[in-house]
């Protein structure tokens, strides 16, 4: 009898804990910029902003976010795991290295058009996973923004 009561109590506690943990709220992407790294390759840099409403922290795992520039696939973004603080806003940095060859060959007309218009359309599409105390909550990301090439 005590064994069944213990199992039932454990199940009820797990269910109530799952209902209390909410996925962090996506607040947008800021700071999208193009930079060069030490190897001379372009780096697309951005910050994904979130707010964690939970009393419990967790981790974010960024997996297979596809990055598109002017509606053409650029690269997959796979980064480290990030710690999620409790009851706070936080930022997950997103960086994508790509070879300047991307702006050549088939994409030359797009590159010229982007240079003339001084802007690129950048889109992030994929999933980020919030992991906390046995839960693995996927987040769909589909965010588009125009970036100026020159100041």
3-class secondary structure per residue, the chain: CHHHHHHHHHHHHHHHHHHHCCCCEEEEEEEEEEEECCCCCEEEEEEEEEECCCCCCEEEEEEEEEEEECCEEEEEECCCEEEECCCCEEEEEEEEEECHHHHCHHHHHHHHHHHHHCEEEEEEEEEEEEEECCEEEEEEEEEEEEEECCC
CATH class of 23-148: mainly beta
Domain map (residue ranges) of the chain: 23-148
Instruction: Check pLDDT > 60 for residue 12.
Output: no
Instruction: Check pLDDT > 70 for residue 10.
Output: no
* Per-residue pLDDT tens over the stretch 78-111: 667 888 898 899 988 888 877 666 655 556 556 6
């Amino acid at each position: 009898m005590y064994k069944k009561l213990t199992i039932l109590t454990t199940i009820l506690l797990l269910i109530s804990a799952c209902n209390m943990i909410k996925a962090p709220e996506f607040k947008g992407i800021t700071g999208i910029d193009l930079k060069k790294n030490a190897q001379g390759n372009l780096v697309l840099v951005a910050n994904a902003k979130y707010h964690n409403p939970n009393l419990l922290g967790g981790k974010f795992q960024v997996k297979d976010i596809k990055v598109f520039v002017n509606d053409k696939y650029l690269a997959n973004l796979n980064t480290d795991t990030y710690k999620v603080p409790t009851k706070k806003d936080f930022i997950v940095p997103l960086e994508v290295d790509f070879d300047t060859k991307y702006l050549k060959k088939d994409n030359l007309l797009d590159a010229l058009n982007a240079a003339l218009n001084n802007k690129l359309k950048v889109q992030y599409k994929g999933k980020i996973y919030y992991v906390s105390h046995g839960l693995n909550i996927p987040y769909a990301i589909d965010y588009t923004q125009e970036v100026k090439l020159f100041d």
